[in-house]
Amino acid sequence: MRAHLFDILVRRQLSALFQPIIHMQSGEIIAYEGLIRGPSDSPLHAPMNLFKVARANGLTVEVEHLCRRVVLERFAELGLPGKLFLNVSPECLLQRDARHGETLEYIHQIGINPDRVIIELTENQPTYDYELMRDAVLHYRNMGFQIAIDDLGEGFSSLRLWSELRPEYVKIDMHFIQGINHDPVKLQFVRSIQEIADKSDTLVIAEGIETQAELLVLRDVGVAFGQGYHLGRPHAQPARTAPAEVVKALARNGVAVYPQRGAEKHGASISKLLHRVEAVPSSLSNNEVYEIFVRQPKLLIIPVVDDGLPLGLISRFDMIDHFARPYQRELYGKKSCKQFMDSQALIADKDTSLQDLSFRMAQADAHQLFNGFIITDQGRYMGMGTGHDLMREITQMQITAARYANPLTQLPGNVPINEHIDRLLESGARFWVCYFDLDHFKPFNDVYGYRRGDDVIQLTGKLLAERTDADRDFVGHIGGDDFMVLFQSEDWEARCNVILQEFGRHVLDFYSIEDRERGGYLSEDRQGKKVFYSLMSLSIGAIRVDPHKYHTHHQIATAATESKKQAKKIHGNSLFMDRRQQTA
């Protein structure tokens, strides 16, 4: 493979592909990421294999420089518009003996302005020398380049790189993008990243967009740019405009339907965050602890414990930082590991609530979020918890608390319904509000029991969910036998009629044969008199919401309730559309 790699380098047998990056509001292509491929009939065709062999043979810098040249040459030759994202590994960036300015010199030769090139840091292995990394990035910035961090959330230390380097762009790893329209945890992650980006003047690029639903959720969250197969695949001669259906979808008024989380029970204590991490005694030397880190590359923190009592934490980064300084290892290598230990580590009992620990973490120093915390049982060491796990659990709890899902149907309740109405009003889109209510539900409960009544409510929720467009229409459960659907689908009326037909057919299954045959049953009214009630039916009160017609979700709720009252005056399954304020 070494000989094959040398042959590729000598004969320049690499080719460039380009994948478009689009603006999430306009659909305009603003940049391309330059990608590399080896010979098509070679085991080194895939870039992962190519760089793996290069690293094994000490040729990473040579291969990467050739890749840059090939990508830059082809970008200039094609005359592609916008900017170019040029992949550079941190290890190559940090090569002390590499020729500084080679990339700048070369792009001047081929006639590309440096402000059109973004250096995209692609992390393949851990980065520890952050000071040197900052110097290298500053060097590139002084030459006119901007910086991007690739695969945020996936790499070894991408969050710290963001904090240290303050890049102009961050790319969110595709794991958090794919399926975001169905996963509220992924949505919350991206919203949090976007919030940090807003405060740090960083532009976010979502990688791996594969569906229109993902695209529209990301647009609504405020993500600036997108990349993925739905927008354009890597190609030797890429398109100069985004696909027409993408531009049309982005230009369309309306909002994406955010994924909702059902009611869940969350453990309240931090014991669920426990990781069994082997501790070391304070009698161990710094050299011995250093060797443990060397043997276990993924180990970031080592607790120091004497006779079951925790004393503090030793950080891999602090240890390596100390030993990287002149004479530090000679002076302190044989001394107790307490020398480099953080004695102010956070320590919490296993029964501490997640909320209490999060408050303590918020008041602690920033490094304690990275280091994590020690979990004890009545003062004795049990294991470790990480700041990442704590943030995940707190985020999960916040999502659940914000959704107020109905426990019977798992559909979102009043709070998320109102939130979605507010988003629709803010977007200036036209939409339809349909208020669904069961007729004669209370007497049915009295005769057939609450268990059967719950089954009817679940049937109704299921029908609404199945006959609406999950990407455009929001289905909510107000409570009891009342539901609301916020339609963006233009064929909302046809969908409602199908729901009415299916409800009328399925509801018969909940009655006895006798009641079905006579079309109803006897039950007592509120005064205790025997009254004949018809079989249950479904009433729908609908209103159309045009831009600027309503201003708050309270106004919409009032109008929808009035329309529902009119629908309930109609015998049997019915749809009433309030057309009094409808514009032409």
Extended strands (E) in 117-158: 117-121, 146-152
What is the secondary structure of 540-573 as a DSSP string?
EEEEEE-TTT--SHHHHHHHHHHHHHHHHTSSSS
CB 465 within 8 A of CB 474: no
- 464 or 323: which carries more pLDDT confidence? 464
What is the secondary structure of 183-224 as a DSSP string?
-HHHHHHHHHHHHHHHHTT-EEEE----SHHHHHHHHHHT--
Give the sign of the dihedral formed by CA 549, CA 552, CA 557, CA 562.
Answer: negative
Beta strand pairing call for 301-306 and 203-206: unpaired
Q: Is the pLDDT of residue 10 over 70?
A: yes
Distance CA 293, CA 305 (A): 17
Please report the pLDDT score of residue 583 as a whole number: 45
pLDDT confidence bin for 578, thresholds 50/70/90:
confident
Give the sign of the dihedral formed by CA 504, CA 510, CA 514, CA 520.
Answer: negative
**CA-based max dimension of the chain:** 98
User: Which residues are bridge partners to 434 per DSSP?
Assistant: 485, 542
Which CATH number is 270-397 given? 3.10.580.10
The share of the chain scoring above pLDDT 70, in percent, equals 93
Q: Is the pLDDT of residue 362 over 80?
A: no
Give the domain ranges of the chain: 1-251, 270-397, 414-577
- 133 or 531: which carries more pLDDT confidence? 531
CB 424 within 8 A of CB 257: no
The pLDDT of 523-538, averaged and rounded, is 86
How is residue 179 written in tokens? 């399926």
Distance CA 560, CA 544 (A): 9
Extended strands (E) in 357-426: 373-377, 380-385
CB 51 within 8 A of CB 45: no
Query: Residue 75: CA atoms inside 13 Å, Cβ hemisphere, count?
Result: 29
Beta strand pairing call for 537-545 and 474-479: unpaired
CB 170 within 8 A of CB 149: yes
Please report the pLDDT score of residue 101 as a whole number: 67
Please report the pLDDT score of residue 103 as a whole number: 75
Mean pLDDT of the chain, nearest integer: 89
Extended strands (E) in 234-340: 301-306, 309-315
- 153 or 32: which carries more pLDDT confidence? 32
Please report the pLDDT score of residue 402 as a whole number: 45
Task: From the options 3.20.20.300, 3.60.15.10, 3.90.245.10, 3.30.70.270, give the CATH code of 414-577.
Answer: 3.30.70.270
Closest CA to 476 of 555, 415, 554: 415
Distance CA 247, CA 241 (A): 9
The pLDDT of 344-360, averaged and rounded, is 87
DSSP secondary-structure letter at 161? H
Distance CA 331, CA 309 (A): 28
Closest CA to 550 of 447, 412, 432, 435: 432
How is residue 325 written in tokens? 């300084």
Condensed to tens digits (0 to 9), the pLDDT of residues 167-204 reads: 999 999 999 999 999 998 899 999 999 998 998 899 99
Please report the pLDDT score of residue 288 as a whole number: 94
Distance CA 456, CA 392 (A): 36
The pLDDT of 141-169, averaged and rounded, is 80
Q: Is the pLDDT of residue 97 over 70?
A: no
The pLDDT of 367-391, averaged and rounded, is 87
Closest CA to 125 of 93, 147, 83: 93
Condensed to tens digits (0 to 9), the pLDDT of residues 407-418 reads: 788 899 888 999
Location of structure tokens 């500053």: 138
Question: What order of strands is seen across the sheet that includes strand 373-377?
Answer: 346-349, 373-377, 380-385
Closest CA to 83 of 139, 10, 22: 22
Give the sign of the dihedral formed by CA 239, CA 244, CA 245, CA 246.
Answer: positive
Arch. (CATH architecture) of 1-251: Alpha-Beta Barrel (3.20)
Closest CA to 453 of 511, 540, 534: 511
User: Which range among 209-218, 314-323, 403-412, 558-567 shows the weakest confidence by mean pLDDT?
Assistant: 403-412
Cα angle 180-182-184, degrees, rounded to a multiple of 5: 70
Condensed to tens digits (0 to 9), the pLDDT of residues 208-231 reads: 999 999 999 999 999 999 999 999
Instruction: Compute the radius of gyration of the chain from its Cα atoms.
Output: 31
